[in-house]
């Protein structure tokens, strides 16, 4: 007999970048899904939006916490400069979550022969659990969707546990984000999973409560291997015991000669009867272990596919990083070449302007002085450039004063100085 389990998990989201990534997955915005065998993009249009979100996750998040953000920014106005943080910096560096992702599903067999409407009714029951048992308000739900484009239907419900909490230090109520307000610890989570199972069964769903303490989604690869090895050994042992018991019974049956059969009774030797009981006992052990093995197999299968998907995505990101690194190196080289070219162009312009100030008529010199001042104002030229252009010319005083060049750097343009004395810095 296949047992169907009610599954409810909670995954903390620690940073806004993580939230953005989860949003891209839940709203099917990633191009990588085109090559992901676990997701059938053509079926994504059938996904059910329980709590729609038209915006990106981060924008939707900021809309929920706008009062919290405003309160933080007001507080930062009176904070010491070395302690000031932007709202995002504060969120990402705190030990609190920015959001919590609730996952609801069941073993695959449960959804067989269910229509889209049937799954929607099940999903509505899950959302009743979110509102009535967990205690979230509709305003705290960022997004909730049912994915029907994967092997097993499941709900992603992302909530922002924004609350107002009394601050003893300031003797005021302040906003904060606290998952512990809704799921205190693992013991409380287990109690909530009991409530979730009860709510579903009261609605008529034939589901077993998920195996307690089997939150394998949080296990490391090493722990997964260890757990899987344990069940493999256990299954091998009970299978071996059952095989031995059956063989023993078969041998006993061969040597049993005084079996008596009448209309109501079968008489067998005691040791043969004991062998029969042993076979029954070992068979029960196998049957008891079967759902746990099946559950573990499903979770290992999901875990493996998830890691394969992450590995594939990681490889794609590595290729992108390599391509970007190459592109960056190329741009850096191009930027250096452009800087060298601009440096030469600027040098030529400075030489040209200086020549105009030296050999031009008064009208040309006045116009050139006006242009130099304009270049200085828009920061194309700095005070050193103005010095190089005007030193030893009739416009030296005017341009030195305009660029606030110290008087001690001035010279008498009427002195018999060679051109190279003033031009060598150019």
Tens-digit pLDDT profile for residues 49-62:
999 999 999 999 99
CA 287 to CA 275: how far, in whole Å?
A: 18
Residue 106 CB partners (closer than 8 Å, separation 6+):
4, 5, 6, 7, 152, 207
Residue 187 CB partners (closer than 8 Å, separation 6+):
none
Average pLDDT of the chain to the nearest whole number: 80
- What is the domain partition of the chain in residue ranges? 5-213, 216-336, 360-423
CA nearest 60: which of 15, 104, 16?
Answer: 16
Picking from 5-9, 130-134, 364-368, 419-423, which range would have the lowest pLDDT averaged per residue?
419-423
Residues shown for the chain: 426
CA 68 to CA 163: how far, in whole Å?
A: 9
Q: Which CATH number fits domain 5-213: 3.40.640.10, 3.60.20.10, 3.30.930.30, 1.10.760.10?
A: 3.30.930.30
Mean pLDDT of 280-299: 65
Q: So what's the pLDDT on residue 295?
A: 64
* pTM of model > 0.85: no
Work out the pLDDT band at 369, boundaries 50, 70, 90. Answer: very high
Tens-digit pLDDT profile for residues 403-422:
888 888 876 544 444 444 45
Tens-digit pLDDT profile for residues 3-37:
678 889 999 999 999 999 999 989 988 765 555 67
Residue 279 has a CB neighbour count (10 Å cut-off) of 19
């Amino acid at each position: 007999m296949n047992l169907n389990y009610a599954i409810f998990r909670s995954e903390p989201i620690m940073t806004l970048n993580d939230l953005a990534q989860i949003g891209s997955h839940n709203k099917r915005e990633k191009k990588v899904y085109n090559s992901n065998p676990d997701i059938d993009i053509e079926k994504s249009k059938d996904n059910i939006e329980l709590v729609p979100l038209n915006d990106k996750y981060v924008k939707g998040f900021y809309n929920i916490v706008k009062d919290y953000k405003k309160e933080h920014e007001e507080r930062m106005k009176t904070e010491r400069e070395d302690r000031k943080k932007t709202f995002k910096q504060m969120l990402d560096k705190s030990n609190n979550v920015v959001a919590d992702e609730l996952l609801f599903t069941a073993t695959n067999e449960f959804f067989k022969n269910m229509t889209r409407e049937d799954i929607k009714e099940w999903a509505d029951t899950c959302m009743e659990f979110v509102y009535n048992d967990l205690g979230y308000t509709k305003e705290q739900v960022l997004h909730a969707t049912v994915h029907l484009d994967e092997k097993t239907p499941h709900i992603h419900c992302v909530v922002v546990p924004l609350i107002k909490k009394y601050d003893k230090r300031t003797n005021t109520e302040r906003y904060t984000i606290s998952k512990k307000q809704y799921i205190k610890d693992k013991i409380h989570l287990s109690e909530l999973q009991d409530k979730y199972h009860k709510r579903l069964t009261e609605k008529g769903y034939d589901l077993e409560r998920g195996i307690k303490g089997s939150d394998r989604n949080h296990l490391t690869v090493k722990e997964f291997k260890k757990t899987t090895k344990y069940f493999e050994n256990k299954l091998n042992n009970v299978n071996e015991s059952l095989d031995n018991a059956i063989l023993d019974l078969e041998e006993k049956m061969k040597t049993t000669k005084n079996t008596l059969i009448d209309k109501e009774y079968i008489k067998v030797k005691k040791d043969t009867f004991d062998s029969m009981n042993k076979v029954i006992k070992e068979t029960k052990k196998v049957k008891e272990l079967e759902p746990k093995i099946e559950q573990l197999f499903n979770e290992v299968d999901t875990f493996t596919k998830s890691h394969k998907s992450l590995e594939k995505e990681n490889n794609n990101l590595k290729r992108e990083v390599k391509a970007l690194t190459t592109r960056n190196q190329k741009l850096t080289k191009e930027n250096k070449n452009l800087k060298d070219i601009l440096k030469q162009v600027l040098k030529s312009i400075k030489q040209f302007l200086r020549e105009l100030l030296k050999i031009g008529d008064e009208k040309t010199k006045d116009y050139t002085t006006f242009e130099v001042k304009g270049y200085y104002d828009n920061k194309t030229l700095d005070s050193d450039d103005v010095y190089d252009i005007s030193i030893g010319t009739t416009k030296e005083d005017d341009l030195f004063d305009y660029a606030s060049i110290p008087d001690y750097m001035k010279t008498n343009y009427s002195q018999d100085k060679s051109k190279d004395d003033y031009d060598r810095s150019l």
